[in-house]
Amino acid sequence: MKKTHITKLDDFLVGGIIEGSSILFSAVPGVECEAFGYQILNEIIGDGNQGFIFTNVTEPINIIYKFKSYGWDLEKYLNEEKAFFVDGSSKFLGLPRNGKYSIDEINQTEEIILKSIEDIPNGVGIINNLSTLIDLDEDHIIKLIDKWNKKAKANNTILVYIFTKWDYKPELIQDIKDNMDAIVSLNSIEERVIIGQGFMVNASWNHPDNNMILFFVLQPGGIKIYIPKLLVTGSYNAGKSNFVKSLSKKTVPVDRMALEKLPTSIAMDIGHVVHDGFVADIFGTPGQERFDLMLDVLAEEAVGAFIMVDLSAPQTFGRAKEMINKTQAEAIPRIIVANKQDLPGALLPEKIRNAMKLDDTIPIVPSIVIEDNGVELALETLLKPLYGE
């Protein structure tokens, strides 16, 4: 079994992709799908194996550039002969061939891919894109897939098929799926307009999970699990803005000098964080009661919440408890970030639970946000109930 190193995908596949198996990434038009094949190739070669990319949609040099945009060095693997191209596009685009093998006639495709599979025992081959092969020779595509998969199984080679699901006959699509060991659907998530992309394992050697996982493709970075909205809330002056800034350098604060002549957020802080296979958008709300309408709206849309508590100001605990109750109504995972533990008179974090009458289901993470102390732990603590990390 070989790991894809794509967050959550390996979990759904119970550890990775079984050697000698075939896996289909089936995408609706408009959803990024090549990145899954490229990242799997990059990671499996990085783990000490060999691989190839069969391309019939773009010339190899464009794929090399794409790898660079993700922060990966495909040229290094090509020079070390750990990877090679099967160039099925350059001849038909009127460009110089670029690959270990070049396909000059469509009827050469079957035998050249079979030879390529033999060249990489225990490796991985990326077929990009199955849709073009269907368009060129729909009548023989199932026979072709069957031969390649049998050769791959005998050679312990993994085959990854990239497939854009255009308006093909339902019977053909079903036949393709029936010839695969695992199927991952890549879909757009829609609410009036397209708001994101997600993947779901529909079939594999494990019982399908059938959970849709949002993803985002970073350049550089590759495929990351996308968390669309994490909420940061809490009482006035508890450290919410500093917490958002500590999590993300890309923050958009809206501040002014309040009547009390203390800097305080009057709208919200918006941040973006990349952490250990995840990307998340973060929204920090003001603590004053007049902004509760904003909190109500954001709590309905959030998938998780950080509740900031000022350990040095017990008089604000009641307000923080109100905010806990607001997020509780939405049944989202939440944690307490017990901030300012370094200040004189700060209540010990372990006393917070009793003082605020919190049950054991809400984790408490002590922190000194202005020193970045406890911030990463708070993020990791919230990710656990969200995605089992």
The Cα 141–Cα 143 span in angstroms is: 5
Tens digit of each residue's pLDDT (9 = 90 or more) over 183-233: 999 998 765 444 679 999 998 887 766 778 889 899 889 999 998 889 998
Write down the CATH number for the domain with range 227-387: 3.40.50.300
The residue among 300 and 250 whose pLDDT is bigger is: 300
| Type of residue numbered 17 | I
The Cα 185–Cα 119 span in angstroms is: 29
Helices (H), the chain: 9-12, 34-46, 60-70, 74-79, 90-93, 109-119, 130-136, 141-155, 170-178, 240-247, 292-301, 317-328, 349-356, 375-387
| Report for 73-82, 93-102, 298-307: range of highest mean pLDDT | 73-82
Tens digit of each residue's pLDDT (9 = 90 or more) over 315-369: 888 888 887 877 765 567 889 999 998 888 888 877 888 888 888 888 999 998 8
The Cα 386–Cα 389 span in angstroms is: 8
Mean pLDDT for the chain overall: 86
pLDDT at position 330: 57
Where in the chain do CATH 3.40.50.300 domains reside?
9-220, 227-387
Instruction: Tell me if the domain spanning 9-220 has CATH number 3.40.50.300.
Output: yes
| Type of residue numbered 311 | L
Please answer whether residues 248 and 272 qualify as being in contact, where contact means their C-beta atoms are separated by less than 8 angstroms: yes
pLDDT greater than 70 at residue 131? yes
220 preceded by a cis bond (ω within 30 of 0)? yes
Average pLDDT for 243-258: 65
Token pair 């917490």: residue = 243
The residue among 294 and 146 whose pLDDT is bigger is: 146
